[in-house]
């Protein structure tokens, strides 16, 4: 009998397990604190083995370490938490690729997941695996309703809690956090995008499946149904990206998640992804007066965080140092901005995902080893 047959027959037969027994198991996990607050799937050794069978990697191999906590996560611990999160075993290669990208991305190993800022990992999946596993890349892409999106992201969070001990009010010191802490995993809508997939920009083949990881602070909604002029739409995106509340460091970074309708506005005008990134880089900024009005017209000489010019630590920002006039750019380069296409092709809606740190250079991408 194949796995599919087993599941099909299980669905056809009445459930013979007493619900009280299942609840008892779920309550046990919650009492131990092995949860993000929602019920988790009870996990036994045989179920973990199904996950480990999906990879050639040694169960003892470390996927990510947090040296400042003297803790690390192995392939086996990642598998246990993927199972707890409700992943199917075939999702496990995606979860492992996500860990590889999070390690390359670097902020987790430097303790940022514990910060008061309250960040969350954000995963973008490209390639054929999206359709094989049912990873949603169309309508409600940031919302609920899809097991793969819901559980792959949750596998990361449960590992942060159960393996690294990043529990709220304890080692997770987030002031408010973000709803993305439950899960933040989307597929790129390559089918409705006018451009090749994100991963192909960084040397992967369209037939490769990949996970790109970023650490994010928030997802800001853009509703722009009023224009088909690419410059107007790009300025609307740039204006949202450069909001002063996001500008804690000297510069910021972001990922535009364009709804297909918006992506086509740019593509119809002959803009590539690169053209859009260049335009937004040039136009995302604030005037010196706007920065002064919110007390962010200088930076700390120690941390490069933005400060009022009369603060004891204040030094001029690079824009002033270099004697430049006009708009103070909020991105250090076009490379500090990523562009992904996701969502339904049904309205002029996009999002600015605010990624943590100044960035620039290629994002953290890993090929999924299937």
Partner 1 sequence: MADGILLERAGVPAVSICTDAFTVPARAMAKAYGFPGFAFVTVPHPVASLTREQISQRAREVVPDVLRILGVE
Exposure of 70 in the CB half-sphere (CA atoms within 13 A): 0
CB of 94 to partner 1, least distance (A): 29
Shortest gap between Cβ of 188 and partner 1 (angstroms)? 36
Cβ nearer to partner 1, comparing 160 with 280: 160
Cβ distance to partner 1 smaller for residue 150 or 174: 174
Tokens of 113: 């997941």
By C-alpha distance, which of 116, 199, 105, 97 is closest to 156? 97
Distance CA 255, CA 191 (A): 19
Q: Which three-class secondary structure state does DSSP give residue 45?
A: helix
CB of 71 to partner 1, least distance (A): 7
User: 243, exposed or middle or buried, with CB in 10 Å at 0-12, 13-18, 19+?
Assistant: middle
Burial of 235 (0-12, 13-18, 19+ CB in 10 A): middle
- How many whole angstroms separate alpha carbon 57 and alpha carbon 245? 43
User: Least separation, in Å, of the C-beta of 217 and partner 1?
Assistant: 18
What lies within 8 Å, CB to CB, of 17 at 6+ separation is: none
CB of 307 to partner 1, least distance (A): 11
Give the residue with the Cβ less far from partner 1, 46 or 175. Answer: 175
Residue 47 contacts residue 78 (beta carbons within 8 Å): no
The binding site for partner 1 (CB under 8 A) comprises 68-71, 114, 165, 167, 169-171, 173, 312
State the Cα–Cα distance between residues 93 and 72, nearest whole angstrom.
Answer: 19
Task: Choose between 74 and 366: whose C-beta lies nearer to partner 1.
Answer: 74
Nearer to partner 1, 58 or 170 (CB): 170
Q: Least CB distance from residue 114 to partner 1, whole Å?
A: 8
Q: Which is nearer to partner 1, 34 or 202 (CB)?
A: 34
| Rounded Cα distance, 94 and 89, in Å | 10
Nearer to partner 1, 35 or 173 (CB): 173
Contact 336, 238 (CB under 8 A): no
Q: Calculate the CA 217 to chain-centre distance.
A: 9
In whole angstroms, the minimum distance from the beta carbon of 171 to partner 1 comes to 5
Q: How near is the Cβ of 110 to partner 1 at its closest, in Å?
A: 13
Place of tokens 């938490």: 81
Residue 185's nearest CA partner among 57, 54, 368, 370 is: 368
Q: How far is the CB of 169 from partner 1 (least distance, A)?
A: 6
> What angle separates helix 230-241 from helix 273-283, to the nearest 10 degrees?
60
* Closest CB to partner 1 among residues 21, 170: 170
Residue with smaller CB distance to partner 1, 104 or 311: 311
Q: Are 109 and 160 in contact (CB under 8 A)?
A: no
């Amino acid at each position: 009998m194949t796995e599919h047959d087993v599941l099909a027959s299980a669905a056809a037969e009445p459930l013979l397990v007493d619900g009280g027994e299942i609840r008892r198991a779920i309550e046990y996990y919650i009492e131990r604190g092995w949860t993000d607050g929602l019920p988790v799937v009870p996990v036994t050794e045989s179920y973990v083995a199904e996950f480990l069978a999906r990879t050639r990697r040694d169960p003892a191999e470390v996927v990510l370490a947090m040296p400042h906590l003297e803790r690390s996560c192995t392939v086996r611990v990642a598998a246990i938490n993927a199972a707890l999160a409700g992943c199917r075993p075939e999702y496990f290669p995606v979860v492992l690729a996500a860990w590889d990208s999070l390690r390359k991305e670097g902020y987790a190993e430097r303790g940022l997941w514990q910060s008061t800022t309250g960040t969350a990992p954000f995963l973008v999946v490209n390639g054929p695996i999206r359709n094989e596993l049912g990873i949603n890349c169309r309508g409600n892409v940031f919302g609920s309703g899809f097991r793969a999106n819901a559980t792959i992201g949750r596998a990361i969070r449960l590992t942060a809690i159960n393996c690294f001990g990043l529990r709220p009010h304890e080692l997770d010191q987030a002031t408010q956090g973000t709803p993305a802490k439950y899960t933040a995993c989307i597929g790129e809508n390559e089918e409705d995008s006018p451009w090749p997939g994100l991963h192909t920009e960084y040397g992967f083949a369209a037939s490769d499946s990949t996970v790109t990881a970023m650490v994010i602070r928030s997802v800001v909604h853009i509703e722009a149904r009023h224009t088909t002029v690419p410059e107007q739409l790009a300025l609307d995106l740039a204006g949202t990206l450069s909001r002063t509340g996001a500008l804690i460091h000297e510069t910021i970074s972001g990922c535009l998640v364009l709804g297909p309708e918006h992506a086509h506005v740019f593509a119809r005008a002959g803009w590539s992804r690169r053209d859009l990134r260049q335009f937004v880089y040039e136009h995302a900024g604030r005037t010196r007066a706007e920065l002064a009005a919110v007390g962010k017209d200088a930076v700390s000489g120690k941390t490069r965080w933005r400060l009022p010019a009369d603060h004891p630590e204040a030094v001029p920002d690079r824009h002033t140092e270099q004697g430049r006039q006009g708009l103070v750019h909020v991105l250090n380069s076009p490379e500090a901005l990523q562009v992904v296409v996701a969502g339904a092709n049904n309205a002029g809606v996009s999002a600015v995902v605010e990624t943590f740190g100044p960035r620039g250079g290629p994002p953290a991408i890993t090929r999924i080893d299937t």
